Chains A and B, each alone.
Chain A
Amino acid sequence: MIEQVFRGGRLYWSWITFLVILIAIGGAAYYHQYQTGLTITGMSKEVSWGLYIANFTFLVGVAASAVIVVLPAYIYDYKKFKNITTIGEFLGASAVIMCILFIMVDLGRPDRVLNLVLNPRPNSVMFYDFIVLFGYLLLNIVIAWNVLSAKEKGKGYSTWLKILIFIAIPWAISIHTVTAFLYGGLVGRAFWNTALMAPRFLAGAFASGPSLLILSSLVLRKFTRFDPGLDAIRKIAEIATFAMITNLFMIGVELFTTYYAQHPLHLEHFNYLYFGIEEGGHVYNRLVPWIWTSLALGIIAVLMLIYPKVRREPRYLATASVLIFTSVWIDKGMGLIVPGYIPSQVGTVVEYWPSLPESLIALGVWAVGILVFTLLAKVGIAVILETSEPEPEEPEIVEEEAVEVEEEVVEEEKEYVCELCDAVFKNLDECCSHAEKEHKISKAACDMACAEVEE
């Protein structure tokens, strides 16, 4: 399977080169940080966690949710999710790799990281976080690999693989819950010390993970011959919509509790985040435009997605997914970590902003994740394409052609069948108008009658 990594067209190789350059820059910046110390970041005695931990927190959510929405496909054999499951798992694995890297670059003494295994303290939440993250990475790799092998050999899943899939579902929820406990369990940080932390994390995760899944599926659909299935993408769009609504609701709950009760210790952090704090004639408000952008993007995305027609159209769906992803990235990243530290434990205000090397390192880690995803997807897609439609030509040639003529094959229409009378139509629109005429089913709800023809 692995040989697929080295076969690809011009677009594939320029993409890989671009990512490798980003990784090299990030690596150089990290070497500088390793030599000089974390002083090169924007972090300080007051704000001792920053961009790295913010990205880590956000990505744990992506890792957990990208998998959880697709795993039922294996267990219930939900056909429409057949192709998208592999993508979800690859996203999960790449996100976990990024999480681990973000923790590693944040450590002051990465050379001592084995102390976590040699001298663990069982009542530290961080110890459990490391365990569940590494376990999750292993689970993802083992499951995805064996599912692909099973596909390649044309066999069903073995029992132990099904058991692993069952284990992976609560495990995915646990990595996010444990990460939320990391913050929620601190008595001294009023901003984080709330029972709503874990549910809020999960809601945000179930919105951002699926939107990334939708985005990558749409991109793969456009640039390769692989089709994850528009129906599956739409189903996942529903999940993202409801999760984002829940997420916004919980932000509202948090704001009400804080601003109605007016407990000063809670209030000051929220004031800093949403309005800025004035101290000594200076207004500290670096995060204010960001958090309002996040809120606005989230609300716009929800307004777009609750309208089914918009949700069905790939173009709008992609836009809404970008909005949700950005909104949650701000809200569950910097918007969650930094205000926990401002004002400080003695009431002083010291702001935080990532430095250039710090941002380059973070960018490098993202590039590693995207590279891992690209390579995994390359292998996975080749295997799926090979097994689903045996072709006389070599698959890599097909893919090269597909890349070169990408623009022309974008709208590859599928045949649709009316499930009520088994009539076959050339595209969805024809099927929908038939359903409206013959079965009195409105066009907005025509997916009740029309389904893709399965080969």
Chain B
Amino acid sequence: MITRRRFLIMAGSTFAGIALTASQAEKVLATFQSPVIKDKERIRWGMVIDLKKFNELPEWKRKEVYDICKKVHNVPVFPNPKDRVEWIWPIKFEQAFPEQHHEFLEEVVEDLEIPVLCNHCNNPPCTKVCPTNATWKREDGIVMMDYHRCIGCRYCMAACPYGMRSFNWRDPRPYIKELNPDFPTRTKGVVEKCTLCVERLEKGMQPACVKASEGTFIFGDLNSLESEVSKILREHYAIRRKPDLGTEPKLYYLI
């Protein structure tokens, strides 16, 4: 039997409960809403590499482009090549563009040194496979890495069609030539890759490799009609790596 007294207690506690959950829910919902940054949504960072101009640079200048990245980001250099960690490095034309390669290819093109780095795909296959959200695509199009959340399953390395991700097979710290105290070092057992120098972009600077490239790397907002990158891409024929996979790289190459 439900007495009057009991009914009142029950009704009262139900109302209190609903009110409590409603206020809790509001709080929870509020944490999901990220602060609105107006312009950030419209930016889509991209890069163009002018291969002919880049290859005309003297060798030490080209090497400087790769070395500056290692220096800025504390990228280790391991003695054993199987352990290597790389953010930007040179490969051959037929390695970068196997589908463009044929027997009558101009020698100039065939011998081009192609700098490769993360393509920051618009439709990245690596981020959707990460089980812990340790890698994701930012609103400005940069594919980011959280070294503190990565569990080292290396599923993203299996998913990347370009081989642009590296794993710390051993502790990288003893193998860093010159330590840059402004950038974090990584531990063994996590994946890392090029982040398009987000830490520099936030300060309004260009990525380190772009700065060292003597104008042969052009960096900017692909969404803005006035930016240099979009102008160059409108006026020149540019190619991307493995475009047939639908990953939509934001790194373009001029030949």
Chain A interface (Cβ < 8 Å from any Cβ of B): 36-39, 43-46, 48-49, 103, 106-110, 112-113, 115-116, 119-121, 123-127, 130, 182, 185-189, 264, 340-341, 344-348, 350
Neighbouring A residues of B171 by C-beta, 8 Å: 37
CB distance from A112 to the nearest CB of B (A): 5
Given contacts A45-B84, A340-B158, contact A106 B153 (CB under 8 A): yes
The docked-state distance in angstroms from the alpha carbon of A108 to that of B151 is: 6
Of A37, A45, A108, the residue contacting B82 (CB under 8 A) is A45
Q: Which of B84, B153, B247 lies in contact with A126, CB distance below 8 A?
A: B153
Contact B95 A347 (CB under 8 A): yes
Interface pairs (23), CB distance under 8 Å: A37-B169, A37-B170, A43-B82, A45-B82, A45-B84, A106-B154, A108-B167, A108-B188, A109-B150, A109-B189, A112-B149, A121-B132, A124-B128, A124-B129, A125-B129, A126-B131, A182-B155, A187-B161, A188-B159, A189-B159, A344-B163, A346-B91, A348-B95
Within 8 Å CB of B134, what residues of A? 115, 119
For B170, list chain A residues within 8 Å (CB).
36-39
A197 to chain B, nearest CB (A): 14
What A residues does B187 contact at CB under 8 A? 109
Interface contacts beyond A38-B188, A112-B151: sample of 18 additional A-B pairs, CB < 8 Å, sorted by A: A37-B169, A45-B84, A45-B86, A46-B82, A48-B157, A108-B150, A109-B151, A109-B190, A115-B151, A116-B131, A120-B131, A121-B128, A124-B130, A126-B131, A188-B247, A189-B159, A345-B160, A346-B163
Residue in contact with B162 in the complex, picked from A45, A113, A127, A188, CB distance below 8 Å:
A188
Report yes or no: B160 in contact with A188, Cβ–Cβ below 8 A: yes
Q: How far is A38 from B188 in the complex, measured between Cα atoms in Å? A: 8
- B162-181 vs A, CB cutoff 8 Å, 1 = contact: the mask equals 11001111110000000000
Identify which of residues 224-255 in chain B touch chain A, using a CB-to-CB cut-off of 8 Å.
Answer: 242, 245-247
| Those 5 A-B pairs whose CB atoms lie nearest each other, nearest first | A108-B152, A188-B161, A108-B189, A345-B163, A44-B82
Q: A119–B96 Cα gap in the complex (Å)? A: 35
Query: Complex formed: what's the CA distance from A320 to B133 in Å?
Result: 45
Residues of chain B lying within 8 A (CB to CB) of residue A39: 80, 82-83, 169-170
Nearest A residue to B189 by beta-carbon distance? Answer: A108
B66-112 residues with Cβ-Cβ distance < 8 A to A are 80-86, 91, 94-96, 98
CB-CB under 8 A from B220, the residues of chain A are: none
Q: B149: which of A46, A119, A130, A188 is its contact (CB, 8 Å)?
A: A119
Given contacts A38-B189, A119-B149, contact A126 B245 (CB under 8 A): no
Q: In whole angstroms, how far apart are the Cα atoms of A39 and B80 in the complex?
A: 10
Q: Answer whether residue B207 sits at the interface, using C-beta atoms and an 8 A cutoff.
A: no
Known pairs A39-B83, A347-B94; A187 contacts B245 (CB<8 A)? yes
A124 to B163, CA, bound (A): 19
| Distance from A345 Cβ to chain B, minimum over Cβ atoms (Å) | 3
**Number of residues from B at the complex interface, CB < 8 A:** 50
Tell me how many residue pairs across A and B have CB atoms closer than 8 Å. 145
- CB pair A345–B161 under 8 Å, yes or no, is yes
Which residues of A lie under 8 Å from residue B152 when comparing CB positions? 38, 107-109, 112
CB distance from B157 to the nearest CB of A (A): 4
Are B131 and A108 in touch, CB under 8 angstroms? Answer: no
Question: CA separation between A110 and B151, bound complex, in Å?
Answer: 7
* Residues of B with C-beta under 8 A to A107: 151-153, 189
Q: For the complex, give the distance between the alpha carbons of A44 and B246 in Å.
A: 27
**Chain A residues with Cβ under 8 A from B131's Cβ?**
116, 120-121, 124, 126-127, 130
Q: How far is the CA of A23 from the CA of B101 in the complex (A)?
A: 51
Return B213 CB to nearest CB of chain A, in Å.
21
Closest-by-CB residue of B relative to A189 is: B158
The minimal Cβ–Cβ distance linking A353 to chain B, given in whole angstroms, is: 11
Q: Is the CB of B167 within 8 A of A45?
A: yes
Assembly CA distance A2 to B171 (angstroms): 44
Q: Is the CB of B159 within 8 A of A186?
A: yes
Q: Which of B83, B134, B169 has the largest count of A CB atoms less than 10 A from its CB?
A: B169
B169, A43: Cβ atoms closer than 8 Å:
yes
Residues of B within 8 A of A185 (CB): 129
In contact, A186 and B132 (Cβ under 8 angstroms)? no
Residues of A near B80 (CB, < 8 A) are 39
The interface residues of chain B lying within 8 Å CB-to-CB of A124 are: 128-131, 155
Report the minimum CB–CB distance from A269 to chain B (whole Å): 14
Nearest CB of B to A60, in Å: 15
Contact with A along B122-154 (1 / 0, CB 8 A): 000100111111100000000000000111111
* Bound CA span A120–B128, Å: 11
**Across the interface, which residues of B come within 8 angstroms of A345, CB to CB?**
160-163
Assess whether A187 is in contact with B189, with CB atoms less than 8 Å apart: no
User: What is the bound-complex CA distance between A44 and B81, given in angstroms?
Assistant: 8
CB distance from A350 to the nearest CB of B (A): 7
| B132-A120 in contact (CB<8A) | yes
- Look across to chain A and name the residue whose beta carbon is closest to the beta carbon of B153: A107
Chain A, Cβ-Cβ closest to B114: A346
Q: Which of B31-68 contact A (CB under 8 A)?
A: none
